[in-house]
Amino acid sequence: MASLERLYEVAAWARELTDEEAERARCGITEKTLAANSYLVHHGDRLDAWTGVVSGVVKMSTVTETGKAMSYTGIADGGWFGEGSILKGEPRQYDIVALRETRIAYLNGATFRWLYENSTGFNRFLVRQLNERLGQFIAFLGHDRMLGAPARLARCIAWLFNPVLSPGVGEHLDVSQEELGLLSGMSRQMANRSLKTLEDAGLVRIEHDGITVLDLAGLRYYGE
């Protein structure tokens, strides 16, 4: 159970709740820390909780029947995910692995469903998030087929800094070049070269503890 102050710290969506709804939400929140490279959930698992990244980075991915690893997206500070599986009552269709030590918040399924049935503000947030996520995956499908490595990495970074899906990130993210490679589905060497290309274009600044975005709109449309 979280205090109201902690609820507002870990869940941007809580700011849209009434006092009664926020009280219900805080009673349904718990937290835990995942070690680097540990799994939050495996494909086929059932997890009756909506999940948020308090700090750190997780990767949403899967492995095909032929053994090919496919990365869908990364989720950073402030991002919440898994609402579709809870609404449909189905097993998770992906793996979630922490790329570094990551603090996770859980909103239990019963509280999630109560908010879904009773809170206008909560539903507004869900609609915005689901719409943004749909746009993300439609874009990823086209980008994977049409764009070169620097442009694909640019889109990957832009989504990590998306203010709807990761509202806690700001302009700087503590993420390594190896982690960016994992998130974008390319080798570390290719990610390094692509990131340098984006820096030369004035879109990002590479720093010893991560990257700072200088032109988010430029990243979103790089290569078009």
Per-residue model confidence as pLDDT tens digits over 177-212: 888 888 887 888 999 999 999 999 999 999 988 899
Per-residue model confidence as pLDDT tens digits over 17-66: 999 999 999 999 999 999 999 999 999 999 999 999 999 999 998 876 77
182 contacts 58 by C-beta, under 8 angstroms: no
Q: What is the pLDDT of residue 143?
A: 59
Helix (H) or strand (E) segment spanning residue 41:
strand 39-41
pLDDT, mean over the chain: 90
Q: What are phi and psi of 134, to 5 degrees?
A: -60, -45
Q: What is the pLDDT of residue 70?
A: 73
The share of the chain scoring above pLDDT 90, in percent, equals: 63
3-state class of 96 per DSSP?
strand
* pLDDT exceeds 60 at position 145: no
Domains parsed from the chain with CATH numbers: 4-129 (2.60.120.10), 148-221 (1.10.10.10)
Q: What is the pLDDT of residue 37?
A: 92
Q: What is the pLDDT of residue 150?
A: 92
Q: Residue 38 CB: number of other CB atoms within 10 A?
A: 13
Q: What are phi and psi of 75, to 5 degrees?
A: -130, 125
DSSP string, 118-156: H-HHHHHHHHHHHHHHHHHHHHHHHHHHH--HHHHHHHH
Per-residue model confidence as pLDDT tens digits over 91-144: 998 999 999 999 999 999 999 999 999 999 999 999 999 998 888 777 766 555
Banded model confidence at residue 146, pLDDT cuts 50, 70, 90: low
Spatial separation of the C-alpha atoms in residues 175 and 178, rounded to whole Å: 8
Mean pLDDT along residues 141-157: 78
Whole-model pTM?
0.79
